[in-house]
Amino acid sequence: MPADRDQRDERRRAILRILRRTRIVSQKDVVSRLLMRGFEATQSSVSRDLRDLGVAKVAGRYEAPVADLDPTSPDDFAEVVRFLRQVCTAGPHLIALHTAIGAAPSVALAIDAAPWPEVVGTVAGNDTIFIATANLADQRNVARRLRDLMKSK
């Protein structure tokens, strides 16, 4: 039994990697990509895996859950960028960063972990983050950096 569980967990990690790197629109696509990586799986086992992993179908494609990302990892930080939607400034010290629904906590954690000395701190809701900076120049630098990241995605 432990070997089966280990294989299942390894297959599920592979599914998350596939979803993060490739646009997947059907469970059949997941099955074939797993097979290319040496995992034999049926559509029904993939369906259970997707359900148990919390994967959602959004705008016609399967999306890995944000909660599984480690936003402090440089690789995952690049992944977090895809959830950015809009940058707005508020006064000389605040930035309101809008994200995909449910993504704000992970994005805020990534910003807090990033080597951005201009950021004093963040407060995250569900799809909005307030980013505090010490002054107007810092606010402009962070806002520009965020907008540049949004363009690069």
Among 44, 59, 43, 41, which Cα is nearest to 4's? 41
Q: What is the pLDDT of residues 89-144, one digit of tens each?
A: 999 999 999 998 878 887 888 888 888 899 999 999 989 999 999 999 999 999 99
Q: Are strands 94-99 and 84-90 parallel, antiparallel or unpaired?
A: antiparallel
d(CA 110, CA 57): 24
User: How many CB atoms are closer than 10 A to CB 151?
Assistant: 7
Lowest mean pLDDT among 19-33, 38-52, 64-78, 127-141: 64-78
Task: Write out the DSSP string of 124-150.
Answer: E-SSEEEEEESSHHHHHHHHHHHHHHH
Domains of the chain: 2-64 (1.10.10.10), 68-152 (3.30.1360.40)
Question: Residue type for 26, please?
Answer: S
